[in-house]
Amino acid sequence: MSATTTARALQEYLDHLTIERGRSANTITAYRRDLARYTAYLDGLGLDPGEVTMSVVEDYVVVVRTGSDGGSALAAGSAARSLAALRGWHSFVLDEGQATHNPAHGIRPPAQGKRLPKAISTHEVELLLAAAGAGDGPASLRDRALLELLYSTGARISEAINLDVDDLDLTPGLASVRLFGKGSKERVVPVGSYAVDALDAYLVRARPELAGAGRGTPGVFLNTRGARLSRQSAWAILRASAELAGLPGAAHVSPHTLRHSFATHLLSGGADVRVVQELLGHASVTTTQIYTMVTADALREVYIQSHPRAL
């Protein structure tokens, strides 16, 4: 099979994905990019798809991970996506009778390292929240209420900015918020007293002024035009507060940082992982268990510092 024939086989596969499998344009673009790199590699070796062995594919995975072919070095996840693309192509070529085997069939994707959440300490959280509330204008009251709520409930930023006033119950001692997570799955999460105080101050002293500039949106958190606060604006609020608080790595503090900190601090305080799972709205406890690695590291550090025969 010549380079021209290989290119034709590749186009036939992409047409198959588009017409018969109904893949999206974005998926086709990604497959085309991954497979163009792969077929160029095969052309460089003088191989057609029917001559490719498992070792050739294994070598190619190393190539894309290191970028030794002159292309970008791919992270484990991107290399796994590339492997899936070429496995699908080889399967198609096999079904079309242009090969006798699929050399990528038994190859496992590169292992992806577990990405531990980055949490900030309780002291840093206090500095962050204090910085958010610096000043007494409507924006300062809103910013403090937003960040207090994020840390108090572990809400995703999208859940917080989509809150309506009716989703809040600020009854002292029984305060809660109704959150709508991925797939519109609803959960009710308790709200701590500090967040209740901040929300109450914002709703009474600031939100009416902000709402007056808009058209009566039911959203809790509003911008200066009276419209619902955007995701980008919420990020900017947190970033500015982190910088004002002088937090290390302030440029990398994100709304998810407060969600990670919420979970990590709960587990460090003795909360059951199943309870934290429900509070975070995770479908599987496996997702939540990554936070236990963080607290295990903290426990190990305390053990090393405290036990007379640890070292």
41 and 139 co-located in one domain: no
Position 105 in a domain? no
Confidence band of 105 (pLDDT split at 50, 70, 90): confident
Q: How far is residue 311's CA from residue 305's CA, in Å, rounded to a whole number? A: 9
Mean pLDDT within 238-246: 94
In a domain, 106, yes or no: no
Mean pLDDT of 186-194: 94
Mark whether 153 and 290 lie in a shared domain: yes
Residue 169 DSSP label: E
Task: Give yes or no for residue 293 having a pLDDT over 80.
Answer: no
Higher pLDDT among residues 102 and 256, named by residue: 102
Res. 1 pLDDT band, cuts 50 70 90: very low
The verdict on 272 and 216 lying in the same domain is yes
Quote the CA–CA distance of 73 and 94 in Å, as a whole number: 29
Residue 76 within any structural domain of the chain: yes
Q: Tell me which of 95, 113, 147 is where a domain ends.
A: 95
Q: For residue 56, what are its two tokens?
A: 């050739």
The residues, ordered by sequence, that sit 6+ positions from 230 with a Cβ below 8 Å of its Cβ are 161, 223
**Number of other CB atoms surrounding residue 117 within 10 Å:** 15
My answer on whether 91 and 230 are in the same domain is: no
Has residue 115 been placed in a domain? no
Confidence of residue 113 (pLDDT cuts 50, 70, 90): low
State how far Cα 180 lies from the chain centre: 17
Number of domains in the chain: 2
Report if residue 117 sits inside a domain.
Answer: no
**Of 210, 196, 237, residue with least CA distance to 137:** 210
Confirm whether 116 is domain-assigned: no
Are 129 and 200 in a shared domain? yes
C-alpha distances in angstroms, 34 versus 29, 50, 68, 130, 288? 9, 19, 15, 48, 33
Q: Percentage of the chain surpassing pLDDT 90?
A: 55
Q: Are residues 133 and 59 in the same domain?
A: no
Q: Catalytic residues, which ones? A: 156, 182, 256, 259, 282, 291
Which of 79, 95, 111 terminates a domain? The answer is: 95
Q: What is the predicted pLDDT for the residue at 112?
A: 66
Could you give phi then psi for residue 212, rounded to 5 degrees? Answer: -65, -20
Residues 203 and 162 in one domain: yes
Q: Is 302 helix (H, G, I), strand (E, B) or coil?
A: helix
User: What average pLDDT does the chain have?
Assistant: 88
Q: What is the spatial distance between Cα 177 and Cα 167, in angstroms, rounded to a whole number?
A: 6
Give the residue-averaged pLDDT of 179-183.
85
Does residue 254 lie in a domain region?
yes
List the CATH number of the domain containing 12: 1.10.150
* Predicted confidence (pLDDT) at residue 65 exceeds the cutoff of 80: yes
The answer to whether residues 83 and 140 belong to one domain is: no
- The residue among 95, 112, 133 that closes a domain is 95
> Taking the model in full, what pTM does it have?
0.61
Domain span at 86: 3-95
Same domain, 188 and 285: yes
- pLDDT, position 68: 87
Q: How far apart are CA 308 and CA 311, in angstroms?
A: 8
Mean pLDDT of 134-149: 93
Q: Do both 156 and 205 map to the same domain?
A: yes
For residues 31 and 165, state if they share a domain.
Answer: no
| 204 and 90 belong to one structural domain | no
CATH of the domain at 213: 1.10.443.10
Q: State the pLDDT at residue 304.
A: 77
> Does the structure show a pLDDT above 70 at 3?
no
Amino acid at 153: T
In a domain, 17, yes or no: yes
